[in-house]
Chains A and B, each alone.
Chain A
Amino acid sequence: MNVHPETERIELRLLLEAIYLKYGYDFRNYSMAHLKRRAEYRLSLSGLASISQLQHAVLHDEKMFLIFLQDLSINVSEMFRDPPFYKALRNEILPMLGTYPSFKIWHAGCSAGQEVYSMAILLHEAGMRERGQIYATDFNRAILEQAREAAFPLAQLKDYTTKYQQAGGENSFADYYAADDERALLCSFLKERIFFSEHNLVTDGVFGEMHLIVCRNVLIYFDRELQDRVVGLFVDSLCPGGFLCLGSKESLKFSRHAEKFEVVREKEKIYRKRRDA
């Protein structure tokens, strides 16, 4: 079938509107090209012929909606993804965070928790774990359950170990997990002081008085308008002098809120909220 692109865009908009009206999840300001690909993926698996048919299915069958909701959730993550970023966190940001008697960290869009546990390991090695509170949020309830479990496929361990070392890790990464036949289970002490909870960056509000927000490779899925809204949410959630960490190809360059931050590490995308912002 050869549907005109403009017709497909209309179908896609109607699908997003339907999801919003019926279920309250708002994807209307997500990257259209991304959404279209996810919809096509679902069409190819479920034998539906058009986005309009998917809309019908999603409206009339909540199970279909939940399936499509998982399709729209980005769950590609790694521990110590972009090692230079974690090295900069370890060497430059944590010492500054350590000057506070207690501190709060928010991982927004935390997926299955790989980056949250990477942070927990850094705090542990810096001797700062007891003073910190980590809030890890995602809109996807199922992925939060996985995050709480802290179990990862054995196949990923080699990559995680390499990245841990590249990020300046001095212990043996094997100290942090116990492996069974299929999975590596992270040590439960790493879970202490982590709160997992549902939070939707698109529709939910401020998370107060954070000293550090980590939100990496989430903003790229939003259009500029929604990026602005979410960065605004971060501005309001950070205490003065608080840090914001984005993905390696994300930046505040195009953001309405750019002037409220100073750049701490250009390449690692670490920003600091100005005291007067």
Chain B
Amino acid sequence: MKRAFKAVVVGVSSGGLEALKILVPGLRKDLSVPVLIVQHLSPQADSYLALRLDEVSGLKVKEAEDKEFLQAGVAYVAPPDYHLLVEPDGSLSLSVDPKVNFSRPSVDVLFETASDAFGAALIGVVLTGANQDGAKGLARIKRRGGLAVVQSPESALADAMPRAALESTNVDHVLPLREIAPFLNNLLIGPSHANTD
């Protein structure tokens, strides 16, 4: 039986731009859930990441806005220098709280609040990165019965973040980067027939 998932959260740091350019365009636009992404960026970074990903993806990609409600089939990217939080009612909040794991936005902040909001209906994905962010959050997702997916450290440009995530909890799936989007498509929509757009 298909499990009913309500959201996917993705955390990524160094090597992230390249990784997201493979993951996000690989997701089908009829994905039945929203995708939330924290990519560590310089606080001064412009908001180009969401625009750039939107251009190359079937899925709609946008920068997350304060108090907007999540929609299925949309990917939300945390704005530079703001934490991204999920409210229990399925809306988003931004915050300028102190940095967590030296980062704002922090993957742990997104993962932990999303886990509070969605419980077992959440998929957490940790990708390449040179720090520990996301490990705590992924452990909470697992503790609450959600699904934990980690990019295989060998396929990661920076393997510290995937390794920390693997050490933090009993991860369900360890996959090379290129297999993560097809895996999520399959899990959330079902096996693809022929070539999808």
Contact = CB atoms under 8 A, between A and B. Distances in A.
B113 A74 contact: no
A220 B93 contact: yes
A83 to B, nearest CB: 9
Nearest to A9: B88
A8 B116 contact: yes
Contacts of A5: 88, 115-117, 119, 144
B67 A254 contact: yes
Contacts of B116: 5, 8-9, 33, 36
A131 interface: no
A57 B86 CA distance: 28
Contact of B113 (A36, A247, A249, A253): A36
Given A220-B95, A249-B65, A250-B66, A31 B88 contact: no
Contacts of A55: none
A65 interface: no
A74 B104 CA distance: 15
A34 B93 contact: yes
Contacts, number: 70
A173 interface: no
B93 A227 contact: no
Interface string A27-65: 000011110110000000000000000000000000000
Contact of A249 (B82, B86, B98, B143): B82
A33 B93 contact: yes
A250 B67 CA distance: 9
Contacts of A76: 96-98
Contacts of B98: 76
B18 interface: no
B79 A2 contact: no
Contacts of A8: 116
B91 to A, nearest CB: 8
B85 interface: yes
Contact of B94 (A4, A32, A224, A249): A249
Interface string A213-231: 0000101110110010000
B133 interface: no
Contacts of B68: 254
Interface centre among B91, B94, B113 (most CB of A within 10 A): B94
A251 interface: yes
B143 A2 contact: yes
Interface of A: 2, 4-5, 8-9, 31-34, 36-37, 74, 76, 217, 219-221, 223-224, 227, 247, 249-251, 253-254
Interface of B: 65-68, 79, 82, 85-88, 91, 93-98, 109, 112-113, 115-117, 119, 143-144
Given A223-B87, A249-B94, 19 more contacts: A2-B144, A5-B88, A8-B116, A31-B85, A31-B87, A31-B95, A32-B87, A32-B88, A33-B88, A34-B85, A36-B113, A76-B96, A220-B82, A220-B96, A221-B95, A223-B67, A224-B67, A249-B79, A250-B66
* Nearest 9 pairs of A and B residues by beta carbon: A33-B85, A33-B113, A31-B93, A5-B116, A220-B94, A217-B96, A220-B66, A76-B96, A33-B87
27 contacts: A2-B144, A5-B117, A5-B119, A31-B93, A33-B86, A33-B87, A33-B93, A33-B113, A34-B85, A34-B95, A34-B97, A36-B116, A37-B85, A37-B97, A37-B109, A76-B96, A220-B66, A220-B82, A220-B94, A220-B95, A224-B67, A247-B96, A249-B82, A250-B66, A251-B66, A254-B67, A254-B68
